[in-house]
Amino acid sequence: MGATINKKGVLAGKVAIVTGASRGIGEAIALRYAQEGAKVVVSARTVEEGDHVLEGSINSVVKKIRAAGGEAHAVRCDLALKEHRENLIKETESTFGPVDVLCNNAAVTYFVPVESFQEKHYRLMMEVQVYAPFHLAQMVLPGMRQRKSGWILNISSHAALHPNKAAGGRGGTVYGMCKAALERFTTGLASEVYQDGIGVNVISPGLVATPGVLHHKLVTDDTPKERITPVEHMAEACLRLCWGDPKEITGKITYAADMLKDYNLTPAELIA
Helix (H, G, I), strand (E, B) or coil at 126: helix
Buried b (16+ CB within 10 A) or exposed e, 218-241: beeeeeeeeeebebbbbbbbbbbb
Q: Which residues pair with 137 in a beta bridge?
A: none
Is the CB of residue 206 less than 8 Å from the CB of residue 256?
yes
Give catalytic residue positions.
175
Give all strands (DSSP E) within the chain, no chain letters: 15-19, 39-44, 71-76, 101-104, 150-155, 198-204, 253-255
Question: Please, are residues 134 and 55 in contact by the beta-carbon 8 Å criterion?
Answer: no
Using a 10 angstrom Cβ sphere, with 0-12 exposed, 13-18 middle and 19 or more buried, the burial of residue 3 is middle
Q: Which residues pair with 202 in a beta bridge?
A: 154, 253
What span, in angstroms and rounded, lies between the C-alpha atoms of 86 and 73?
A: 16
Q: What is the chain's Cα-based Rg?
A: 18
Amino acid letter, residue 135: H
